[in-house]
Amino acid sequence: MPTDRAVVAKRVDEGEADLEEIAELARAAGYDVVGELTQRRTQDAAYHFGEGKVDELAALVRRTDADAVVVDNEMGPFQTYNIGQKLPEGVDVLDRFTLILEVFGQRAQTRKAQLQVELAELRYELPRAEAKASLAKRDERPGFMGLGEYDESREQDIKNRISRISEELDRIAEKEEKRRSQRRDQGFDLVALAGYTNAGKSTLLRRLASELDVDENEQRHPDLDTTAESEDKLFTTLGTTTRKADTGTREVLLTDTVGFVSDLPHWLVESFKSTLDSVYYADLVLLVVDASEPVEAMREKLVTSHDTLSDRNEAPIVTVFNKADKLNKPEIDRRKRALSALAPAPIVVSGKTGEGVDALRRRVERELPDWERERLLLPVTDEAMSVVSWIHDNGNVHEESYGDEQVTVEFEAPPAVVSKARSKAADVERPTVDADAGGA
């Protein structure tokens, strides 16, 4: 099946238009980018670009035989329609957020991800449905501006569907929060990988964690297939992936989440808020940054990431400069100095080669919430040995010594585990002492 060809375009009020990210997004959606066009001017109400620039765009589409035009701006329905009228028949016009939703739709594999994509699509469509109905009523012309027949019930249908999806996502979020609480009770620390898409989070996850996904009944996770390793593509992972990771003395659950993207509107971020809960409720956040990018690009992404995380996140944040294999030491040191205010004491790693990953594991252990230290005395019984085994599974045992009648266990564990261990120890039945034993 031939790949659709796309021309990418962008308008800016001032400065230079950067088409790198929109081109990557288009490729992630499956397009072959065959042309680029930019303009610096204030927005035109009818065409977004100036009309002369739209004529130039149409000529570029004909010359490259493009199937679509992707505009790296948010456009109104009338602007989209007007540009389309200038293009050859059958050429699609997508703005930035339509393209992002298209990519999300292709990547959505789970029920939760599919619901979030549909919710975002409906929130995107709602103001357009309202505008279409309002203008058609005002002008008494169904299909005003070529936008199609309006249906007075469509607006309410969208609102009803948004309400139903939001309720279902809330139920899913409640179940996920219950699972997080159960995992903490079992002694796991929760660590989230956050950052921009294409920063290498999924590659780093594979480097840090075991092959088993804790939510997949010990099935080999699909992103471990060799064809998916180190795939240089935006949104390779849309939903969250959680795996067990051993940092040394503590076991953590490491979650990779959907990557941030520049200039996302509130309605789109809101649609994926339950995915970001994995970050907001973590004990530690690893903010992964592509260190091979220019310093100013890194700075902008760090600022946006911190703004996104500061809304509800209370966990400590450790900045991880990934893709160190693409840089020499002087270049890395220059980035550290330039970004020290936003990224104090970053860990430098390469998810691809494994460089610095052991240092990252040690840093994770230092940054996680402190464990409590406890010393328990238990009788030497089968029931007590079961408790000792449970402590080994859920904490870090420093010393275990046996006497004739009791065992002493000294260990560290999260407060919830220490509390549960005390409760289990208190429930252990002590052997009764027969006062007449040995007196006969």
122: containing domain? 109-172
Is 248 annotated as contributing to ligand binding?
Answer: no
Residues 6+ apart with CB under 8 A from 22: 8, 10, 70, 72, 96, 99
- Nearest CA-CA partner of 243 in 264, 257, 261, 259: 257
What single letter denotes the amino acid at residue 48?
A: H
Q: What is the spatial distance between Cα 246 and Cα 254, in angstroms, rounded to a whole number?
A: 10
**H-state helical runs in 195-265:** 201-208
* Phi, psi of 111, rounded to the nearest 5 degrees: -60, -40
Owner of token pair 């930035």:
96
- Nearest CA-CA partner of 238 in 256, 265, 218: 256
Is 237 annotated as contributing to ligand binding?
Answer: yes
- Nearest CA-CA partner of 54 in 78, 76, 87, 26: 87
Is 196 annotated as contributing to ligand binding?
Answer: yes
CATH code where residue 415 lies = 3.30.70
Q: What is the C-alpha end-to-end distance of the chain, expressed in Å?
A: 94
Owner of token pair 């550290």:
336
Treating both helix axes as pointing N-terminal to C-terminal, what angle do 111-139 and 96-107 enclose, rounded to 10 degrees? Answer: 150
Instruction: Answer for the pair 281, 313: CB distance below 8 angstroms, yes or no.
Output: no
Is 323 annotated as contributing to ligand binding?
Answer: yes
Is 148 annotated as contributing to ligand binding?
Answer: no
pLDDT of residue 50: 95
DSSP state of 291: T
pLDDT of residue 239: 58
Owner of token pair 């099946």:
1
- The verdict on residue 23 lying in a domain is yes
pLDDT of residue 247: 78
Chain centroid to Cα 73, Å, comes to 23
Is 47 annotated as contributing to ligand binding?
Answer: no
Query: Which contiguous run of DSSP H or E holds residue 245?
Result: strand 241-246
Helix, strand, coil distribution of the chain in percent, nearest 5: 45, 20, 35
Treating both helix axes as pointing N-terminal to C-terminal, what angle do 415-427 and 382-394 enclose, rounded to 10 degrees? Answer: 180
Instruction: Answer for the pair 345, 393: CB distance below 8 angstroms, yes or no.
Output: no
Question: Do residues 286 and 210 share a domain?
Answer: yes
Question: Do residues 237 and 316 share a domain?
Answer: yes
Q: What is the spatial distance between Cα 142 and Cα 88, in angstroms, rounded to a whole number?
A: 25
- The verdict on residue 434 lying in a domain is no
Is 343 annotated as contributing to ligand binding?
Answer: no
Question: Do residues 99 and 213 share a domain?
Answer: no
Question: Do residues 350 and 230 share a domain?
Answer: yes
- Nearest CA-CA partner of 121 in 131, 129, 109: 129
pLDDT of residue 231: 43
Question: How many structural domains compose the chain?
Answer: 4
Is 274 annotated as contributing to ligand binding?
Answer: no
Question: Do residues 269 and 243 share a domain?
Answer: yes
DSSP-derived pairing of the beta strands 189-195 and 284-290: parallel
Q: What is the spatial distance between Cα 269 and Cα 318, in angstroms, rounded to a whole number?
A: 23
- The verdict on residue 423 lying in a domain is yes
Question: Do residues 144 and 251 share a domain?
Answer: no
Question: Do residues 262 and 354 share a domain?
Answer: yes
* Phi, psi of 128, rounded to the nearest 5 degrees: -70, -35
* Phi, psi of 341, rounded to the nearest 5 degrees: -70, -35
Is 227 annotated as contributing to ligand binding?
Answer: no
Is 401 annotated as contributing to ligand binding?
Answer: no
Written as tens digits, the pLDDT of the chain (440 aa) is 457 999 999 999 998 888 988 998 898 888 999 999 999 999 999 999 999 999 999 999 999 999 999 999 888 888 988 999 999 999 999 988 888 888 877 777 778 778 888 888 888 888 777 766 665 555 554 444 444 455 567 788 898 999 999 898 888 888 877 877 777 666 678 888 888 877 888 888 888 886 444 443 333 333 333 323 334 444 445 556 788 887 777 778 888 876 777 666 666 666 666 666 667 678 889 999 999 999 998 998 898 888 877 766 678 899 999 999 999 999 999 999 999 999 999 999 998 899 999 999 999 988 888 878 899 999 988 888 999 998 888 788 889 998 888 899 999 887 778 888 898 888 887 776 555 544 44
Question: Do residues 306 and 248 share a domain?
Answer: yes
- The verdict on residue 279 lying in a domain is yes
- Nearest CA-CA partner of 49 in 89, 87, 93, 79: 79
Q: What is the spatial distance between Cα 110 and Cα 116, in angstroms, rounded to a whole number?
A: 10
Is 350 annotated as contributing to ligand binding?
Answer: yes
Question: Do residues 38 and 158 share a domain?
Answer: no
* Phi, psi of 223, rounded to the nearest 5 degrees: -80, 5
Sheet holding 396-402, edge to edge: 372-379, 406-413, 396-402
Q: Dig out the tokens for 196 from the structure.
A: 């921009």
Reported residue count of the chain is 440
- Nearest CA-CA partner of 283 in 306, 254, 249, 322: 254
CATH code where residue 91 lies = 3.40.50.11060
Chain centroid to Cα 155, Å, comes to 31
Domain boundary among 82, 105, 128: 105
Domain boundary among 105, 126, 141: 105
- The verdict on residue 437 lying in a domain is no
Q: What is the spatial distance between Cα 93 and Cα 90, in angstroms, rounded to a whole number?
A: 10
Question: Do residues 91 and 200 share a domain?
Answer: no
Q: What is the spatial distance between Cα 217 and Cα 237, in angstroms, rounded to a whole number?
A: 19
Question: Do residues 254 and 139 share a domain?
Answer: no
Is 195 annotated as contributing to ligand binding?
Answer: yes
Beta partners for residue 36, in sequence order: 8
Question: Do residues 95 and 234 share a domain?
Answer: no
CATH code where residue 331 lies = 3.40.50.300
- The verdict on residue 180 lying in a domain is no
Is 328 annotated as contributing to ligand binding?
Answer: no
Is 110 annotated as contributing to ligand binding?
Answer: no
Domain boundary among 139, 172, 205: 172
- The verdict on residue 229 lying in a domain is yes
- The verdict on residue 433 lying in a domain is no
